Structure 1
Amino acid sequence: MKIAYLVNTAPVTSSTFIRREMAALEAQGVTVRRFALRRWHQPLVDPLDVADQARTHYILSGNLRGLLLAALRQAATGPAAFARGAWLAARLARSGGGAVRHAAYLLEAVYFLRCLRREGIAHTHVHFSSNATAVALIARTMGGPSYSFTAHGPDEFLTAAEDGLACKLAGAAFAVAISNFCRGQLLRFGGAQHRDRIAVARCGLDLSEFVPSDRPAGESRTLVCVGRLCPQKGQVHLPAAVAELRRTEAPFRLVLIGDGESRPAIEAEIARHGVGDLIELRGWRSNAEVRATVAQARALVLPSFAEGLPIVLLEALALERPVVTTTVAGIPELVDESCGRIVPPGDGAALTGALRDILRADGATLAAMGRTGRARVARHHDLGTLATTLRDLFAAAIAREGAVAVPSGRATVGREAAEVKS
């Protein structure tokens, strides 16, 4: 079975879970061809991401000539298919995003379709229901293979109507939701009539890569926060909590791993609260360095305002470290008081209180939280189980495709797929 994975930008330091997922499928005998619309222009810090970048076929980056030539060939050799794709792109543009953007999606889809046919790919899977899924849908409409997508949230649900999520779900062979919350959002924006084609398949880890440290959590006074520095993650509120905690809980320190647009604001808050001696900003680090840092910490903190289900929470729990996080999206399906602390987003007093609980907890309590967390990840977030689920879903979609006679290479996505609200 040969499939394509298509994403917007790859590899990205914060999307290691996609690389792991593809590798797990390959370990089960699935041939995975990697495609991305754009190349990430920030330096990659993990050797496995660097290696994956070399295996990725980029559709848009530096490829304007290739896009235009593919469009001209398609218009000349398959004008009816090209017209169907152009019509759908125009209908999607009417729901939001503009004509220029969707004209680009059409060019990308034509080029992508030629790649799929050249490599004999039977199915396309996309992560996130945004622009890359639009490309897969348009390619499908022009006679390409079936496609599916994994929805994560939160941003894709904020623009669901203008991005044509209902159309994309109607045209897909199936959709994957990473949590029950995410499934509810797909039903909300995509239509309850598709409930039987939405599978909940939670992101997974290979626990053999996450070996808990011999050092008990109770012996550490380091808290760690890992993630892109951005408003959604809420790291800008941590310096105030640290300033409050230093009055009664010192000594301790907070390490922030990651980078992003919120870094200047975080640095300003650190200076304003006078906690530069307690907070260290390390920037992006390799997966191995992140694992080692979390494994030696007392706990991980992630005070997010908007999330899907953060992989770093899984990683910390797999390393038997408790987590302090917020009641956002799918997080409560993973975290409760038995493996950490979970507080309302934006509640500074609650966040400070939760961190105080962790700093004051005895070693036995922290160890029990860690064991509970790792057991929960093993039960619900096993990477091998995720790969098996996806492999079976791909195989079923390909089998259904083969059972339906589609004359002249045409593919239909159903009337609903073409009916985008204007």
Structure 2
Amino acid sequence: MSRLLAITGRSPFSTTEEAFVQDELETMVRHHVDLVVVPTRMATRTPNSGSVTSGLIDHVVAEPLFSPRVLLGAVRTVLRHPVASVRAVTEALVDAGSRRNLAANLISVPKALWLAGYVRTVGATHVHAYWFAHQATIAMIVGRIAGVPWSATGFRWDIDAGNALDAKIRRAAFLRVADELGERILRERVASSDRPDSPVHLIRTGVAMSPPVPSFDGADLPVLAFPGGFVEKKGHRYLAEALRTWADDGRAFELHLFGDGPLRGDLENRFESAGIRGRTTFHGAVELEVLRTFLRERQPIVVLPSIRADDGQEEGIPVSLVEGMANSCPVVSTRTGSIPDLVLDGCGWLVPERDPDALRGALEDVLSRPAHTAEVLLRARDRVAGEFDREVSTMRLVELCGAAG
């Protein structure tokens, strides 16, 4: 009997982060996977309501980074396995790759040492970490000390961060990515490593499929939804510029933003300057089910004017666009990162990045041709159903972890 131990960042002790990770874990619970979930940290004192309703919380072992139990367990691990502990921790720190990675790994050491002893207590046969960052560092330390195979899922920023990535390539049973850009970057890194045959698997981040909507009728009062963090690569400023003309013409529309982040103040100022602040609703960071309900009930145009940021950050496959397509919403975005790998021809509207005129033109096209838009929605839903169904993608990951275990 195999038992999977999953390491998360904060899920399910968060209401806004890692919703797609929790989706995957809840799918495992529905399929009766023998699962133990260990969040690295806790953003909230209590688990979110979704984890309680789904029964996921019954599989969770939550400990703060530096609880007495963690610290005592770490000491016990060092006393029982002094050589293996020193080697595992040294590798994670020496190969960290940056001061930021080093700090993240360092504060994760006690939890990793505690977990190295805990995996044997619960009989885990495989450890899987979500994120290639310090979560995978914990899994790597656990694997070396406890002798349990481990793997990790990487998304976008955590691949770019390069946190002890060469060591993780060398030690992992396999590494999973969710989009083609991440796959290309990781395979190049693997090819130049001392383990060029390290397995890399592309497994999508899946979503739940809603029943298809055969029509689109949003021209009278256009409703737009922007789901995403307020960070540079999301390209908010270009959305403000794209909608300025609508505001100047007195056109009625609603803009709903779901998310939060460091650029919120700048974004509010830009919307005020563009004359669209009064048409805009900031919902803040919400649980994924709240967003899904809005998509199903309002059928907005999901717009994401993403860019390649000045620091090199760009999109993988945004879960917000996948959710839009799965819920029969038109999606308008840009040809940047891995977005074109999701929004294929005829499945949505893609424009050049940093081009507000092209963005506005795509929005106009969605609204001016409702029959054509309805056809696009059906193709988009078929696209997501064929490759992003969370039931299929989750169980593929489980099978890989079971084989490794």
* TM-score normalised according to structure 2 size: 0.88
Tell me what 1:106 maps to: 109
After superposition, what is the alpha-carbon deviation per residue over 1:137-164, rounded to whole angstroms, capped at 9, x for unaligned?
Answer: 11111124111111110x123322xx12
1:286 deviation in Å? Answer: 3.7
Larger mean Cα displacement after TM superposition, 52-61 or 303-312: 52-61
1:50 deviation in Å? Answer: 6.1
Tell me what 2:122 maps to: 119
**Which of 292, 296, 309 is residue 317 of structure 2 equivalent to?**
309
| Alignment check: 8 A CA contact 1:89 1:106 kept | no
Structure 2 counterpart of 1:303, which letter? Answer: P
Tell me if 1:397 matches 2:398. Answer: no
In 1, Cα distance between equivalents of 2:377 and 2:227: 18
Tell me if 1:223 matches 2:224. Answer: yes
After superposition, what is the alpha-carbon deviation per residue over 1:176-201, rounded to whole angstroms, capped at 9, x for unaligned?
Answer: 11122211111123336545611111
Structure 1 counterpart of 2:348, which letter? Answer: G
1:283 deviation in Å? Answer: 1.7
Give the 3-state SS of the residue equivalent to 2:324 in structure 1. helix
| Alignment check: 8 A CA contact 1:308 1:330 kept | yes
Give the 3-state SS of the residue equivalent to 2:226 in structure 1. strand
Tell me what 1:328 maps to: 336
Tell me if 1:133 matches 2:136. Answer: yes
Tell me what 2:76 maps to: 73
| Structure 1 residues 375 and 99: alpha-carbon distance in aligned structure 2, compared to 1, 3 A threshold | closer
Tell me what 2:22 maps to: 19
In 1, Cα distance between equivalents of 2:103 and 2:331: 44
| Alignment check: 8 A CA contact 1:217 1:298 kept | no
| Structure 1 residues 299 and 26: alpha-carbon distance in aligned structure 2, compared to 1, 3 A threshold | same
In 2, Cα distance between equivalents of 1:363 and 1:113: 57
Tell me if 1:338 matches 2:346. Answer: yes
RMSD: 2.5
| Structure 1 residues 158 and 86: alpha-carbon distance in aligned structure 2, compared to 1, 3 A threshold | closer
In 2, Cα distance between equivalents of 1:318 and 1:59: 35
| Structure 1 residues 15 and 86: alpha-carbon distance in aligned structure 2, compared to 1, 3 A threshold | closer
Tell me what 1:405 maps to: none
| Alignment check: 8 A CA contact 1:179 1:202 kept | yes
| Structure 1 residues 350 and 334: alpha-carbon distance in aligned structure 2, compared to 1, 3 A threshold | same
| Structure 1 residues 100 and 333: alpha-carbon distance in aligned structure 2, compared to 1, 3 A threshold | closer
After superposition, what is the alpha-carbon deviation per residue over 1:200-252, rounded to whole angstroms, capped at 9, x for unaligned?
Answer: 11111231xx2345773445511111122222322243222211233458222
In 2, Cα distance between equivalents of 1:324 and 1:99: 39
| Alignment check: 8 A CA contact 1:126 1:150 kept | yes
1:65 deviation in Å? Answer: 2.7
In 2, Cα distance between equivalents of 1:28 and 1:53: 15
Give the 3-state SS of the residue equivalent to 1:353 in structure 2. helix
Give the 3-state SS of the residue equivalent to 1:149 in structure 2. strand
In 1, Cα distance between equivalents of 2:35 and 2:181: 28
Larger mean Cα displacement after TM superposition, 82-91 or 163-172: 82-91
Structure 2 counterpart of 1:204, which letter? Answer: G
User: What stretches of structure 1 of length at least 5 have no aligned partner?
Assistant: 399-422
In 2, Cα distance between equivalents of 1:176 and 1:368: 33
| Alignment check: 8 A CA contact 1:181 1:329 kept | yes
| Alignment check: 8 A CA contact 1:4 1:125 kept | yes
Larger mean Cα displacement after TM superposition, 287-296 or 387-396: 287-296
Tell me what 2:311 maps to: none
Tell me what 1:408 maps to: none
| Alignment check: 8 A CA contact 1:318 1:377 kept | yes
1:135 deviation in Å? Answer: 1.0
Structure 2 counterpart of 1:326, which letter? Answer: T
After superposition, what is the alpha-carbon deviation per residue over 1:93-149, rounded to whole angstroms, capped at 9, x for unaligned?
Answer: 466547654333322210111221111111111111111101111111112411111
Larger mean Cα displacement after TM superposition, 178-187 or 235-244: 235-244
After superposition, what is the alpha-carbon deviation per residue over 1:13-50, rounded to whole angstroms, capped at 9, x for unaligned?
Answer: 24211111112223333112111111124998x62056
Larger mean Cα displacement after TM superposition, 247-256 or 374-383: 247-256
Tell me what 1:372 maps to: 379
| Structure 1 residues 233 and 94: alpha-carbon distance in aligned structure 2, compared to 1, 3 A threshold | closer
In 1, Cα distance between equivalents of 2:101 and 2:384: 42
**Which of 372, 384, 390 is residue 391 of structure 2 equivalent to?**
384
| Structure 1 residues 4 and 307: alpha-carbon distance in aligned structure 2, compared to 1, 3 A threshold | same
Tell me if 1:89 matches 2:92. Answer: yes
Tell me if 1:39 matches 2:37. Answer: no
| Structure 1 residues 328 and 194: alpha-carbon distance in aligned structure 2, compared to 1, 3 A threshold | farther
In 1, Cα distance between equivalents of 2:211 and 2:330: 15
| Alignment check: 8 A CA contact 1:167 1:190 kept | no
In 2, Cα distance between equivalents of 1:287 and 1:188: 33
Give the 3-state SS of the residue equivalent to 2:277 in structure 1. coil
| Alignment check: 8 A CA contact 2:7 2:135 kept | yes
Structure 2 counterpart of 1:302, which letter? Answer: L
In 1, Cα distance between equivalents of 2:227 and 2:391: 25
**Which of 358, 383, 387 is residue 350 of structure 1 equivalent to?**
358
Tell me what 2:280 maps to: 279
| Structure 1 residues 93 and 363: alpha-carbon distance in aligned structure 2, compared to 1, 3 A threshold | closer
Larger mean Cα displacement after TM superposition, 144-153 or 93-102: 93-102
* TM-score normalised according to structure 1 size: 0.84
**Larger RCO (CA within 8 A; separation ≥ 6):** 1
Give the 3-state SS of the residue equivalent to 2:278 in structure 1. coil
Structure 2 counterpart of 1:379, which letter? Answer: G
Give the 3-state SS of the residue equivalent to 2:205 in structure 1. coil
Tell me what 2:261 maps to: 260
| Structure 1 residues 381 and 195: alpha-carbon distance in aligned structure 2, compared to 1, 3 A threshold | farther
Tell me what 1:8 maps to: 9
1:304 deviation in Å? Answer: 1.9
